[in-house]
Structures are given as structure tokens and as C-alpha cells.
Amino acid sequence: MAEWNAYYRNEDDEEEQEEGEQSGGDYKITGRDSLVFLVDASKEMFIKGEDGQPSNFDMTMQVVRSVYASKIISSHRDLMALVFYGTEQSKDPSKSFKHVYVYHDLDEPGAKRVQEVDALRGGKGAQLAAETMGSGETSLGDALWCCANLYSDIKLRLSHKRLMIFTCRDKPHEGDSVKDRQARTKSGDLKETGVIIDLMHLMKPDGFDVAPFFRDIISPPEDESELGLQLEPCDKLEDLQKRVRAKEQKKRAQARLHLCLGEGINVAVGIYATAVTARKPAPIRLYRETNEPVRSKTRTFHTQTGSLLLPSEIKKSQVYGKKQIVMEKDEVDAIKKFEDPGMFLIGFKPMERLKRHHHIRPAAFIYPEEDEVKGSACLFSALLTKCHERNVFALCRCVSRRNYPPRFVALVPQKEEVDEGKLPLQFLPLYLAFLSLKENSRGHCSCPTASQRQVDKMKEIVSKLRFKYRSDAFENPVIQQQYRNLEALALDMMAPEDTEDLIMPKVDQMDQRLGPLVQEFKDLVYPADYNPEGKPAAKRKTADTGGGAEKKPKVEVPEDELRAHVQNGTLGKLTVPVLKEACKKFGVHTTGTKKQELIDALVDQLGQ
């Protein structure tokens, strides 16, 4: 078991590194993202849909809530604001706008805010909204102005500014040209300061026409093709959610590199990760008395003299074959350096050469960066088209960052596809699959094969349990539980909200669907006296139950034998418990639990 465990522990260490590799990037340099929800609070928004469909307002609040919650999980340092317009009451920090209600100004979302948005959901929410804000005159110009003030009041550096307008009215000012013009001017100002304005238009009975008014308000799309698809209003919550999700995150390149086809042919590309393992947040230390966060400082000092050690007074070392090998810190870094970052084309291979099991880390996408090297998009596009047409992938050597050793990557062509929702093209160009450098093919055994009858029965079972896989269908129960717990504590709730474990098989439903098939299959493959649930052999039992409950046999090695091992350098033969016992016996204090650490400690002690 040791090895599997070791693997899992390693994974943690490695995660840190990977984290750096995957998320790092521009984030620190460019500052924070910000997102303002500007929501229409006119009467029209509160009209309930047919057959109990939620009102547009309700739908919007649900989306806002889910974005809040997901931001807390994924990027809590982003700033968010919620502003209503067309309200009766007014509330804004400068107190100079009428009919604009700043519900939340730009700040990091927290538990309280989530709760406050929750309060606006459903029938009760509509009532609350009517009481606190009411519906009144509309001046989108004022609302946008107010949002501009929100942005300008922020003293932090903002990297990405987005404003989403949720409305179901295509003519908010009912033809008042003065107000229209004012709104246009204001939106122009906002756009000039780098704010991207999106319209999340919602369904209304006679259709939503973007053209007369809103086309001038929103930011021009990234390319022309996007426009056509986006003009459809959302009428379903999922669509809206999807559309908001797609816009809410700034796509941020992990790295920008040159894809070098040959001497002097450099295509600028950005690398984008579309799936990065989300983790439980790291704990922070708080001062017991005040619950304020404390900062930690780590210093390195000399054990004997107690003086602080400068980096130059420290070296790095490893022990191999009983010999200590020492290097400067710079040298340790230098060893890792092969060449400057970049992707270097080696050649092409047919797609079937890329095996499914050649996978050692999640894929990323690359997309040309026309702003860096003009002409990149065209060559990239040609490469993509041809690779796809000929069903080949490009093999490259890739150094993703400075002082990173090279890896081989496969650039796999992927055609553009239209998502089934009303999303604009979800374009997935070449992706990088990190190939393992050395495959560890491990153990395989020859096993009996099933007869066609047995296979056919299984096919029936498989067909019965078919479903459509969607990658966003499964929530991580571990992370969800953690956040529910935190939410409960933050809001002084009695108990955390229940989380549904979506990756638990729905056994009852499955059994019901399968009906007698299971028994039929079992009759075909298992003999009557066979118990598939039985443990393979009694002796394995201890290993299966894991846990530390059962007593461990006391293991000891005589002293002289141990010394002999030390002398011959064969300590490695002994097991970890034996080594631990030996450490205890000789009074060797070690903090390590890894085998090598134990061995090192023993050698230190006994070798003298």
C-alpha cells in the first residue's frame, strides 16, 4: 500500500507546483477582475412566465447568486457589484442619481451578500424588492453613470472590467431621445475606460430587438460572427446561466509563447487551460483573541550561532550511494534550464498514434495572438485546417516557462463547434496533451474472454443505463461540503445546507431500470456457488480494511544486524516500521516519516 499512499501524498506537493504552472500567469501582475450586474427593476421584469415559469427578475437573481457563490469558490478576490435601475427608491454613495439603487457596491462577495441576493429570489423576493426599491422611472444613462462612479471609486488596480445589463425591455426610455442619447454617451465613456458592456437580454412576449437602442450601448463583440448568434434573448435559466458564465470569466492565457515551426517562423500563441482542478481553499491563521489574520514569516538561521543565514550561506544537498552531493541554489535552478520558453515543432504524426492512455496531465488550448505577431492567426488557421483535414497532430517540444524542463506535447486539431445552448461558438483549437515521457506500463494478465451471449446481455444492461454525459454535470462534493460548512459558520446557520452528492450512483433508480437483467447476467457468468462480493482470500482482509485498528506485530532487528546493514548500505531492505522501531531503540529523533529520511537518520547516528 505504501506506494499508493506515497503517490497521494506526492500529489499534494506536486499540486503546488502545478498550481504555479496552471493558474499563475498574469494574475498577479494585472490586478483584479470586476463585474457589475446592472439589473432592470421595472415592473416588466417581475411578470411571471407562463405555467409557473419564474419571472425574469427571479431568474436574474438566481444567476447572480450562483455567480456570487462560484466566485467565492473560484476567485474570491474579484470585485462584484449589484445595481438596479428603474427603481422608485434611490440609493447610491454620491446621492446624485434618481431611480438607481446600488444594492451592493463593488467589493469582494461574501456570505452576507449571498444571503442578501437570496432574499430577492422567488415570490418573497419580488415582494421585498417592491418594498425596498419599487419600480419607477428609468434612466439608463444615470444608471451607467452611477456604475462608472463605482468603478472610479475603487482604488485597487482592476484588470478586467465587465458590466452586464439584465433587462427585458428593448426600449427602456420609451422613445425619449434625450435619455437615449444620454445613455449612449455614458456607455461610450464607460467603454473608453475599458469597461466591457454586455447585454443579457431576457425574453419578453413580443421579442427583444437589440438593434434600435442597445446595439449602441454594448461593447462590440470580439468578432463579427458572434453578433448573429447573440441576438437571441434568453428564456431559460440554464441558457442565461451559461451565457453569464461564459462571459463572466476573463480568458487569461497561462502563458504566451512562440510556436516555432522552423528558423524564423514564429507564431505567437497563448495557452489557455479550460479545466483546472479546483481545490479546497487553503486555511489561514487567525489570532485567537481577535480573529484577525496573522502573517507568517519564515526565517532560516544557524542552529549553533543563532544568526540569520543569508541565501549565500545556504546550499542544497542530496545523498546518493552514501555520498553527499552539494550544490549552490543557483546551480539547482540552472540544472532545470534547457532553453528559453517556446514550442518547437518536431514533426507530424497520424492521429491514431496518439493513444488514449497517453495522458499525464489535463490538456490546454492554444490560440493565436495576433497582437504579438501579426500574421499568426492566418498561419495558425492554415495549420489547423490542414492538420484536421489530414488527421494528423503536430508533435512539439514545449518549454512553458523559464527554467522549466522541456516536455513533449501533441497539438491536436479540433474543429469549431457550436454549443447546443445559445452560446456563441465554443471554439476549441489545437490542444496540448502532455505526453508521458516514459510510459510505465504496468502488469497485465491474461484473462478469459466472455462469450457473445454474455456480451449481448451486458449490452442490454449498458443500454438501459445510458445517459448523456455533460462535463458540468458533476459537482465536487468535497469542495461543496467545505463551502456549505463555511457558509453555515459565516451566517450563523444552525446546520449547513445539505449537499447532494452528485457522483454517488443512484442505486435504486438503476436497480429499477435494470430489473431482472442483473440476475440474468449473473446467471450467465457466475456459477451458483460463486460469491462475487467475497474477499479474494482471507489473508488480504487486513489490507482491505486499512485503518490502524488491528494490532501490528512488533518488529525488531538485533543491533548487530542493524549495524551490518548500515555498514553495507543495505538498510533499504528493511521496512518502514522496522526502521521506525530501530530509530526509537537508538534514540534517533527524526521528524521524517519517509523511508529515506529514516534511513538517513539511522546512518547519521550509527555511522559515526
Partner 1 sequence: MAGAKSASVLCMDVGFSMSNSAPGEEPPFELAKKVIQKFVQRQVFAETKDELALVLFGTDSTKNSLDQDGQYQNITVHRNLMIPDFELLEEIEHQVHPESHQADWLDALVVCMDLLQTETKGKKCDRLNISLLTDLNTRASSEQIDVIIENLKQAGITLQFFLPFPVEDDEESGRDADRGSPGHPGMGKGLSEEQKSSVDIVKHIMLNLDEENGLDEIYSFRNAIEQLCMFKRIERRPMAWPCQLTIGSCLPIRIVGYKAVTEEKLKKSWTTVDAQSNKKDDVKRETVYCLDDDNETEVEKDDTIQGFRYGSDIVPFSKVDQEQMKYKHDGKCFAVLGFAKQHTVRRHQFMGTQVIKVFSGKDDEHAGVALSALIRALDELNMVAIVRYAYDRRSNPQVGAAFPCIKKDHECLIYVQLPFMEDLRQFTFPSLENNKKFTPSDTQLSAVDSLIDSMMLLEEDDNGDQKDMFKVHHIPNPAFQRHFQCLHHRAVSPSTPLPPMEPWLKAALECPDVIAERCQGPLEEVKRKFPLTEVEKKKKLKTSAQIFGKDSGEPDAKMAKGDEEEDYNLADIAEGSVTSVGSVDPARDFRTLIKKKSLPFGEVCQQLTRRLEQLLSNKNTAYFMKSITCIQAFREQSVKLGDANLYNGYLQSLKTSIPNRGLEVFWDLLVQDAVTLISKDEVKGSTVSKTDADQFLVTEEKKKEAAAPPAEDTGDVDDLLDMM
Report the C-alpha gap between 339 and 106 in whole angstroms: 44
115 is a contact residue toward partner 1 (CB under 8 A): no
CB of 292: closest distance to partner 1 in angstroms? 7
Active-site hit among 28, 155, 297, 374: 28
* Contact positions with partner 1 (CB under 8 A) in 569-608: 569-570, 572-573, 596
**Which residues, at least 6 apart from 32, have a Cβ–Cβ distance to it below 8 Å?**
77, 78, 79, 156, 157, 158, 159
Query: b/e per residue, 251-290, with b = 16+ CB within 10 A?
Result: ebbbbbbbbbbeeeebbbbbbbbeeeeeeeeeeeeeeeee
**DSSP per-residue letters across 394-442:** EEEEEE-STT---EEEEEE----B--SSSPSPB----EEEEPPSS----
User: Per CB under 8 A, which of residues 207..246 are in contact with partner 1?
Assistant: 222-226, 242, 245-246
For partner 1, give the closer residue by CB, 205 or 264: 264
Q: Which residue has the cell 412576449?
A: 205
Work out which of 128, 231, 237, 514 binds partner 1, going by CB under 8 A.
Answer: 514
25 lies in the site for partner 1, by CB under 8 A: no
Q: Does 421 bind partner 1 (CB under 8 A)?
A: no
Shortest CB 413 distance to partner 1, Å:
11
Cell 423576493 -> residue: 125
Nearer to partner 1, 116 or 209 (CB): 116
Shortest distance (Å) from residue 466 CB to partner 1 = 5
For partner 1, the closer of residues 47 and 346 by Cβ is 346
- Whether residue 83 contacts residue 146, with contact meaning beta carbons closer than 8 Å, is answered with yes
Which distant-in-sequence residues (6+ apart) come within 8 Å of 19 by Cβ? 279
Q: Does 420 help bind partner 1 (rule: CB under 8 A)? A: no
Should residue 564 be labelled a site residue for partner 1 when binding is judged by CB under 8 A? no
Per rule CB under 8 A, is residue 256 in the interface with partner 1?
no
Interacting span for partner 1 (CB under 8 A) from 35-43, 162-170, 198-206, 461-469: 461-469
Spatial CB neighbours of 326, under 8 Å, sequence gap ≥ 6 = 315, 316, 317
What mask, x for binding partner 1 by CB under 8 A, covers residues 524 to 563? xxxx--x-xx--x---x---x-x-----------------
Instruction: Give the strand pairing for 79-85 and 100-107.
Output: antiparallel
Stretch that binds partner 1, among 48-56, 207-215, 276-284, 555-563 (CB under 8 A): 276-284
Which of 397, 557, 580, 606 lies at the binding interface for partner 1 (CB under 8 A)? 397
Cβ 121 to partner 1, closest distance in Å?
18
Which of 336, 401, 402, 563 binds partner 1 (CB under 8 A)? It is: 336
Q: Which stretch binds partner 1 (CB under 8 A): 55-63, 125-133, 204-212, 318-326?
A: 318-326
DSSP string, 198-256: EEEEB--TT----TTTHHHHSPPPSSHHHHHHHTSPB-SHHHHHHHHHHHHSPP--SEE
Q: Which stretch binds partner 1 (CB under 8 A): 53-61, 116-124, 205-213, 422-430?
A: 422-430
> Footprint of partner 1 on residues 130-169 (CB under 8 A)?
145, 148-149, 151-152, 154-159, 161
Task: Give the one residue of 503, 584, 586, 593 binding partner 1; rule: CB under 8 A.
Answer: 503
28 binds partner 1 (CB under 8 A): no
Q: Which of 124, 171, 215, 386 binds partner 1 (CB under 8 A)?
A: 386
By the rule CB under 8 A, 469 interacts with partner 1: yes
The answer to whether residues 576 and 595 touch, using CB atoms and an 8 Å cutoff, is: yes
Cβ at position 180, least distance to partner 1 in Å: 10
Cα 39 to Cα 62: distance, rounded to the nearest angstrom? 12
Number of residues that bind partner 1 (CB under 8 A): 256
343-372: contacts with partner 1 (CB under 8 A): 344-350, 353, 356-363, 365, 367-368, 370-372
Does residue 20 belong to the site contacting partner 1 (CB under 8 A)?
A: no
Burial of 156 (0-12, 13-18, 19+ CB in 10 A): exposed
Contact between 100 and partner 1 by CB under 8 A: the answer reads: no
Largest CA distance in the chain: 99
- Distance, in Å, from the CA atom of 103 to the CA atom of 95, rounded to the nearest integer, reads 13
Note whether 414 binds partner 1 by CB under 8 A.
yes
Nearer to partner 1, 57 or 367 (CB): 367
468 interacts with partner 1 by CB under 8 A: yes
> Does 99 participate in binding partner 1 (rule CB under 8 A)?
no
**Cβ 366 vs Cβ 272: under 8 Å:** yes
From 47-55, 165-173, 204-212, 521-529, give the range in contact with partner 1 by CB under 8 A.
521-529
Burial class (CB in 10 A: 0-12, 13-18, 19+), 78: buried
Of 79, 144, 136, which Cα lies nearest the Cα of 107? 79
Displacement of CA 501 from its chain's centroid (Å): 19
User: Is 216 or 501 the residue whose CB approaches partner 1 more closely?
Assistant: 501
Q: How far is CA 48 from the centre of its chain?
A: 35
Q: How many CA atoms lie within 13 A of 286 on its CB side?
A: 7
Distance CA 380, CA 386 (A): 10
Using the minimum distance from each CB to partner 1, give the nearer residue, 474 or 586. Answer: 474
Q: Measured from the CB atom, is 1 or 211 closer to partner 1? A: 1
99 dihedral zone (left: phi>0; alpha: psi -120 to 50; beta)? left
Task: Give me 154's grid cell.
Answer: 475603487
Q: Which of 82, 197, 210, 273 binds partner 1 (CB under 8 A)?
A: 273
28 in active site: yes
Is residue 47 part of the contact set for partner 1 (CB under 8 A)?
A: no
**Chosen residue from 28, 51, 205, 312 binding partner 1 by CB under 8 A:** 312
Active site residue ranges: 28
